[in-house]
Amino acid sequence: MCGIVGYLGNKDAVPILLNGLHRLEYRGYDSAGIAVIANNQIQYVKNAGKVSELSKLIDDSVINGSIGIGHTRWATHGEPNTINSHPHFDRTGNISLIHNGIIENYSSIKEVLSKKGFEFQSETDTEVLVQLISEIYYSDGLNFEQSVQAALNQVVGAYGIVAFCADEPNKLVAARHGSPLVIGIGDDEYFVASDASPIVEYTRNVIYLDEGEIVTITKSGYEIRSISDDRVINKISTEIELSIDQIEKGEFPHHMLKEIHEQVHTITDTMRGRIDPSDGSAHLGGISDQIDRIKSAHRIYITACGTSWHAGLIGKYLIEEYARIPVHVEYASEFRYRSPIIDNKTVVIAISQSGETADTLAAIDKAKEFGALTLGICNVVGSSIARKTDCGVYTHAGPEIGVASTKAFTSQVAVLFLLSLCFSRDKGPTGKNFSEALLNIGDHVKEILKNTKTIDKVADLTFKSENFLYLGRGMNFPVALEGALKLKEISYIHAEGYPAAEMKHGPIALIDENMPVVFIAPNDETYSKVLSNIQQVKARDGIVITLTDNKTNELKKVSDYIIEVPKANHPRIFPILASISLQLLAYKLAVLRECDIDHPRNLAKSVTVE
């Protein structure tokens, strides 16, 4: 996934574009570039590496103009070097384009253009698109926006693009098919971006482009049309709810740490107004029209990727326990290509922080094709998954900028708690205790954040380890998976999550005095079983790190370190709290290893390609 930004107005575009790229960097940071038009000529600077490196280059060059485009890249076609970075240009150097997505039929178009004498500088699909636009523009007598539209009607794939042309220098053309784009409308100035974060400090007035729309922006206004049939589309602008504080790190050294701390209120924000502790019921407006169909479903599939998939695994335990409906949890990337048993008695729940993950979107298409009811759990309001699903619930965790998901995960789990209460056929004392305990969660999170001494100590003593094992049972098996994923992502330490009892069927071979093993050992029905698993590791000299809300003498005897998790008044709260302790552990280990925590190598915040 890449970040794209465009500006047209009366100000110098360069600082606005650079600022926008800094804000969008979480979407990709392999390379970055900007281009502007000045004196009817395109000037550009682009470079492999981060936006900060691009800024340094720009400081040393004279580049300015009041119309421009900027891009920060997560490489798909071609290595992340300067030639492959965006913006890309046509052969005249008069047309430039930035792109997020993949042009699937680029090689056949490239072949046709090559036969006509076009030469290509980069290995990217994007350069093929800009050359195609150029071929149409300079031979078909169409104006620039018509040429872009004609080219887009020939391509197959996904894109969010912004393009401009030095021959029509006061015009930006942007289009969306599969990658989000927002238009910001200011006073005599316009912005285009992958999301609202580069726009919010200039204007709160925005329009979200929908799939298959193209917009032409000039100083006198904008016009939106349908790419396929050229229909003019009138859209009403909306106000962005985002604030600058939400997207800045503030006093924290990293977005990830800020987001870990925000969990003091985000989990409660997710549940606010949706839970009634007097009878343990939950009310979710976004699914109320479909609730009867959901309650009578024969099966539920939960589909998602990465961390969201881990939340889904926790959801399976909750929904099966409270609502007694069978739940299958599937990676969206697998589900989309399988032949799952889906009919109109099936509910497919898609979980996604960004709401833009390509595999999850495709899984929803598959579910719809077979007549299932689709339900989205998304953080980003108005995202593609939120719009595509039949009904849904927003997590309301606020913008998550850290590439490693933290607060979005715990809010997803909170929504799954709510869904399990909502789908539950019988309310009663269990639901009531559970909902009361859910509402007190913020205080427990505060406690975790206040007392990180043991986590710090464990990090100090283990940060040179190259492997970690995370073990848990029941609902805490997904917690182990998520703990291991967090560690891998930001510290590059190899880590595996396993069901604790499965350890003896293989992973036990890995255990020696150098292997830290994190056990998740709550005071619930799994306690004595986990204790036996710990003993098996201790007997083989593994380094035992135990997370528990039940620091017994037995546990003290077999653990090298005990990370205490606050005791909540319901056992099902423990997984959320344990996840937060594990986020902190991963964070501290990554700090000690001097990793780039908010920009882990090779990753991007959301994956909008297959």
Active-site residues, by number, are 2, 605
Taking CA atoms, 477 is separated from 180, 306, 427, 438, 502, in Å, by 34, 15, 27, 20, 11
**Residue of minimal CB distance from ligand AGP?**
306
| Nearest CB to ligand AGP, comparing residues 280 and 312 | 312
Shortest Å distance, C-beta 378 to ligand AGP: 8
Bridge partners of 158, per DSSP, are: 102
Shortest Å distance, C-beta 494 to ligand AGP: 16
Shortest Å distance, C-beta 402 to ligand AGP: 8
DSSP 3-state assignment of 459?
Answer: helix
Shortest Å distance, C-beta 160 to ligand AGP: 16
Shortest Å distance, C-beta 117 to ligand AGP: 41
Site for ligand AGP, residues 116 to 155, rule: CB under 6 A: none
Shortest Å distance, C-beta 451 to ligand AGP: 25
Shortest Å distance, C-beta 139 to ligand AGP: 41
Q: Which residues contact 400 (CB under 8 A, 6 or more apart)?
A: 259, 353, 379, 406, 407, 408, 605
Taking CA atoms, 61 is separated from 42, 64, 156, in Å, by 14, 9, 37
Start-to-end C-alpha separation, the chain: 10
306 touching ligand AGP, by CB under 6 A: yes
User: Which of 329, 479, 607, 609 lies at the binding interface for ligand AGP (CB under 6 A)?
Assistant: 607
> What gap in Å lies between CA 249 and CA 265, rounded to an integer?
17
| Nearest CB to ligand AGP, comparing residues 177 and 488 | 488
Q: Which residues contact 557 (CB under 8 A, 6 or more apart)?
A: none
Check the CA dihedral 52-54-59-65 and report its sign. negative
Contact call for residues 376 and 350 (beta carbons, < 8 A): yes
| Nearest CB to ligand AGP, comparing residues 355 and 542 | 355
Binding pattern for the stretch 462-501 against ligand AGP, x by CB under 6 A and - elsewhere: ---------------------------x------------
- Residue 191 corresponds to which tokens in the numbers above? 């912005």
| Nearest CB to ligand AGP, comparing residues 109 and 397 | 397
User: Which of 197, 303, 307, 389 lies at the binding interface for ligand AGP (CB under 6 A)?
Assistant: 307
> What gap in Å lies between CA 137 and CA 147, rounded to an integer?
5
Q: Which of 432, 438, 440, 436 has the alpha carbon at shortest distance from 281? A: 432
352 touching ligand AGP, by CB under 6 A: yes
Shortest Å distance, C-beta 235 to ligand AGP: 25
User: Which of 76, 395, 606, 608 lies at the binding interface for ligand AGP (CB under 6 A)?
Assistant: 606
| Nearest CB to ligand AGP, comparing residues 324 and 601 | 601
| Nearest CB to ligand AGP, comparing residues 342 and 607 | 607
> What gap in Å lies between CA 174 and CA 16, rounded to an integer?
18
Shortest Å distance, C-beta 603 to ligand AGP: 6
User: Which of 179, 194, 353, 424 lies at the binding interface for ligand AGP (CB under 6 A)?
Assistant: 353
Contact call for residues 193 and 242 (beta carbons, < 8 A): no
411 touching ligand AGP, by CB under 6 A: no
Bridge partners of 157, per DSSP, are: 103
403 touching ligand AGP, by CB under 6 A: yes
Q: Which residues contact 32 (CB under 8 A, 6 or more apart)?
A: 21, 25, 46, 47, 49, 50, 51, 53, 54, 70, 71, 72, 73, 85
583 touching ligand AGP, by CB under 6 A: no
> What gap in Å lies between CA 5 and CA 28, rounded to an integer?
13
Q: Are strands 3-8 and 494-499 parallel, antiparallel or unpaired?
A: unpaired
| Nearest CB to ligand AGP, comparing residues 147 and 307 | 307
Q: Which stretch binds ligand AGP (CB under 6 A): 25-33, 147-155, 353-361, 493-501?
A: 353-361
354 touching ligand AGP, by CB under 6 A: yes
Question: DSSP state, 567?
Answer: P
Shortest Å distance, C-beta 408 to ligand AGP: 7
Q: Which of 248, 256, 244 has the alpha carbon at shortest distance from 596? A: 256
Contact call for residues 327 and 423 (beta carbons, < 8 A): no
Q: Which stretch binds ligand AGP (CB under 6 A): 87-95, 132-140, 352-360, 560-568?
A: 352-360
Contact call for residues 307 and 482 (beta carbons, < 8 A): yes
405 touching ligand AGP, by CB under 6 A: yes
- Residue 105 corresponds to which tokens in the numbers above? 């039929």
25 touching ligand AGP, by CB under 6 A: no
Kindly report each contact of residues 103-107 with a partner whose C-beta sits within 8 Å and lies 24 or more positions away, as own/partner.
103/128, 103/129, 103/155, 103/156, 103/157, 103/159, 104/155, 104/156, 104/157, 105/155, 105/156, 105/157, 106/77, 106/155, 106/157
Q: Which stretch binds ligand AGP (CB under 6 A): 51-59, 156-164, 351-359, 530-538?
A: 351-359
178 touching ligand AGP, by CB under 6 A: no
Question: DSSP state, 423?
Answer: H
Contact call for residues 354 and 346 (beta carbons, < 8 A): no
| Nearest CB to ligand AGP, comparing residues 31 and 606 | 606
Contact call for residues 375 and 415 (beta carbons, < 8 A): no
The angle, 0 to 180 degrees and rounded to 10, between the axes of the packed helices 306-323 and 476-491 is 170
Bridge partners of 347, per DSSP, are: 300, 373
404 touching ligand AGP, by CB under 6 A: yes
Q: Which stretch binds ligand AGP (CB under 6 A): 157-165, 258-266, 302-310, 473-481?
A: 302-310
Q: Which stretch binds ligand AGP (CB under 6 A): 245-253, 287-295, 349-357, 446-454?
A: 349-357
Number of residues that bind ligand AGP (CB under 6 A): 16
Site for ligand AGP, residues 515 to 554, rule: CB under 6 A: none
308 touching ligand AGP, by CB under 6 A: yes
| Nearest CB to ligand AGP, comparing residues 19 and 583 | 583
Shortest Å distance, C-beta 21 to ligand AGP: 20
User: Which of 66, 131, 203, 360 lies at the binding interface for ligand AGP (CB under 6 A)?
Assistant: 360
| Nearest CB to ligand AGP, comparing residues 188 and 334 | 334
The angle, 0 to 180 degrees and rounded to 10, between the axes of the packed helices 574-592 and 441-450 is 30
Shortest Å distance, C-beta 354 to ligand AGP: 3
| Nearest CB to ligand AGP, comparing residues 209 and 403 | 403
Sites of contact with ligand AGP (CB under 6 A): 305-308, 352-354, 357, 360, 403-405, 489, 603, 606-607
